[in-house]
Amino acid sequence: MDILIILLAAITAYMIGSIPTAVWWGKGFYGIDVRQHGSGNAGATNTFRVLGVRAGIFVMTIDIFKGWSATSLADLLIYFEIVSYDEFILYKKVFYKLIFGLIAVVGHIFPLWAGFKGGKGVATLLGMMLAIEPGLTLLCVFIFVIVLLASKYVSLGSLTATLAFPLLLLTPRFTPDDPILIVFGFLMFVIVALTHQKNIGRLIHGEESKVNIRLRKRS
């Protein structure tokens, strides 16, 4: 096992996660730094709020792809025989995917390219889990949509869907081959909860802003 190459892969995962899509897209095409408007967050939700649907969809798509591509670096380890097939048994593959994905999420929250002031990591986390458990992740996306439509709160939908992932893994229908996935699922929820502390406070006090997505033409 080449530790140096694995370390380089981990650094690459962080760099991918650090791409500040909302900041670069806002500045480059709208002349707006989304961090200076709305919630002040450099993520897809604030992009929807500040720049409109088209920009929000683009930013969300790229942020999801960041998580998916960083997580998929684990597949390259075996494809290029950096780690032999015998060593790269299922639990190790899942472990590396989780590590690289987590690093990408951290990169999104603390991006090197944007002064370590990034987004909340939900879209990047979604991409990460799509690369690991696509079927269950799509179910969690459905849960997010239902909660969003019912409550109009993006933050509540994100928190509920993120928590649903490890809880569903505890059921017989979705029990994974490696229990470490359950542990990481709860860890991901903790991270999302920490990045949504202010939102949770506003939800408790009934002060959270409801979603108000609108079309906005580029000026």
User: What is the pLDDT at residue 143?
Assistant: 97
pLDDT at 218: 47
Each of the 219 residues of the chain gets a pLDDT tens digit; together they read 578 888 999 999 999 999 999 999 999 999 999 999 988 999 998 999 899 999 999 999 999 999 999 999 988 887 776 666 555 455 567 888 899 999 999 999 999 999 999 999 999 999 999 999 999 999 999 999 999 999 999 999 999 999 999 999 999 999 887 788 899 899 989 989 999 999 999 999 999 988 765 544 444
For residue 57, give the nearest of 66, 68, 69, 48 by alpha carbon: 48
- pLDDT at res. 30: 95
Structure tokens at 18: 């650090």
Rounded CA-CA distance 177/186 in Å is 17
Three-state SS string over the chain comes to CCHHHHHHHHHHHHHHHCCCHHHHHHHHHHCCCHHHCCCCCCCHHHHHHHHCHHHHHHHHHHHHHHHHHHHCHHHHHHHCCCCCCCCCCHHHHHHHHHHHHHHHHHHHHCCHHHCCCCCCCHHHHHHHHHHHCHHHHHHHHHHHHHHHHHHCCHHHHHHHHHHHHHHHHCCCCCCCCCCHHHHHHHHHHHHHHHHCHHHHHHHHCCCCCCCCCCCCCCC
Rounded to whole angstroms, how far apart are CA atoms 90 and 180? 11
